Amino acid sequence: MTSATALAPLSPFAMESPLGGALPDVRATPAEEIPAIVARARAAQREWSARTIEDRVRALRRVKDRVLDAGARIASVVSREVGKPEAEAWSAEVLGTADVVDYWCASIDEHLAEMAVSIDPIAYPGKRGTITRDPRGVVAVIAPWNFPFVLPLRTIVPALLAGNAVILKPSEIAPRSGALIADALAGLVPDDLFTLVQGGGEVGGALCAADVDLVAFTGSVATGRKVARACAERLVPCALELGGKDAAIVLADANLERAANGVVWGALTNAGQNCASIERVYVERSIEAAFTEKLLAVVRSLKSRDDVGPLATVRQCAIVREHVEDARAKGAKILAGGEAPEGSLAYPPTVLAVTGDDLAIMQDETFGPVIPIAVVENEDEAIARANASRFGLTASVWTGDIKRGARIARKLRAGVVTVNNHAFTGALPSAPWSGYGESGYGITNSPLALDALTRPRFTLLDRNGAARELWWYPYTATLLTVLSSMAVLRSGTSGLSAKLRALWNLVRAMPKRLGGG
């Protein structure tokens, strides 16, 4: 295990807690050390990938107990570092990680199992094909700050179990949470197989430029584009999980009590600093007043810090302020919140009534505790407006008719759609998490995540003892007869008489061809 040591400290804003007070110092990894770190990781990966899957599972399974036993410390560090309430840190970061380890340790053997390939025994006699999943190699994980413990582990755990080495760069805003991941893995895997590096964009850029085999990045669209360009230069794949502008559609037949509670949680959990936060609400006109009244009652019942923590950074707070002020200036009505003391990161839960989608708060990712509500006339308008976004991560439909909800879900441009719930499926390790458009094209969770973390290898075993194959040299008139006859027999438009003639020609020509004619 390599720890991060260097001369330069991380950026000053990573040294102050959103809850107040200084945080322990963290030192950055010099970018020039990255190539050597990758080289050591590659050497360790060769030995690790040669181990059986059972050996890898045996090593990684212990991570679960370590995380659960250290739950109070993890929740406290995460809360102090990014401001989220400890209850959210426990549920999402601690217990969520236990689920990740459980799922992958129980299922990785099945997901990596050799698969047989169907091969026509007549056209290709004596041949057997199999597909295996080989480890990608050295995987660089560049992680975000909003879920700084569990999100990296959703990639790290299956990556290691699949036989890869992993280099983790946590966000410079949440470096101490990244260090807790290193603690959870310490001594369980070989030296240099998992390496923690610390730093900002310079270190992330060095990782993308280094001899890694995959970059798994979660973060902003702007940085994701830079990662994609850097990886494209080296023809190295990258998995990008970027922003969201998730819509909730509340229909007239919805259970308004559940919808109000669910939308508030989906919008405000982690103070809205979630790529899957509800950032647009489309409500049918006939229930708008009743729904809004219930939603406001829920919002007003929330307690600062206990339920909704402060925003993590000054920059994020400024973005939220800008979006709310832009909406207000363009005619949006503030129904709750909307003001925060100057210099405070504790932006209050805010509800807006908006009339159109030509607002920053309806187009750009806000990443804060704001709920814009827009009225629609019917489900068709709701679907059209929900889909009119350059993002497409998650969406939700709230209705009393499950079949109707499922039908609408199929029309929504989103990688994850829930009916009568929102966002929580990211905590289901068996369910894929991905998106459309500027939400990126990475996948975490589910066996589909292994498509990035492994390379498919096809192996063909040929037991055919004949001197030559049908299609080998020499190319003769007999071969042309065989091939044209095969084409007629396989054609869906050839008549019966044509097929019978082709079969007769094939039967006569095949022995001669296999004899070399």
What amino acid positions are annotated as catalytic residues? 241, 275
Q: In 10 A of CB 441, how many CB atoms?
A: 17
Strand order from edge to edge, sheet including 454-462: 115-117, 127-135, 454-462
By DSSP bridging, strand 333-336 and strand 391-392 are: unpaired
Helix (H) or strand (E) holding 217: strand 214-218
- Least Cα distance to 135 among 152, 101, 111 occurs for 111
Preceding peptide of 474 cis, ω within 30°? yes
- Least Cα distance to 147 among 362, 423, 392, 432 occurs for 423
CA angle 108, 74, 278 (to 5 degrees): 75
Q: Which residues of 66-98 are buried (b: 16+ CB within 10 A; e: fewer)?
A: bbeebbeebbebbbbbbbbbbebbbbbbbbbbb
**Cα–Cα distance list, 384 to 110, 137, 189 (Å):** 40, 43, 49
Tell me if 509 sits within 8 A of 485, measured CB to CB: yes
Cα torsion 194, 199, 201, 207: sign: negative
Angle at which helix 71-82 crosses helix 175-185, to 10 degrees, equals 160
Count how many Cα atoms sit within 13 Å of the Cα of residue 43 in the half-sphere of its side chain: 7
- Least Cα distance to 293 among 329, 327, 336 occurs for 336
Alpha-carbon dihedral angle through residues 378, 384, 388, 393, given to the nearest 10 degrees = 90
CA distance 168 to 183: 13
Q: In the numeric block, which tokens belong to residue 51?
A: 């181990």
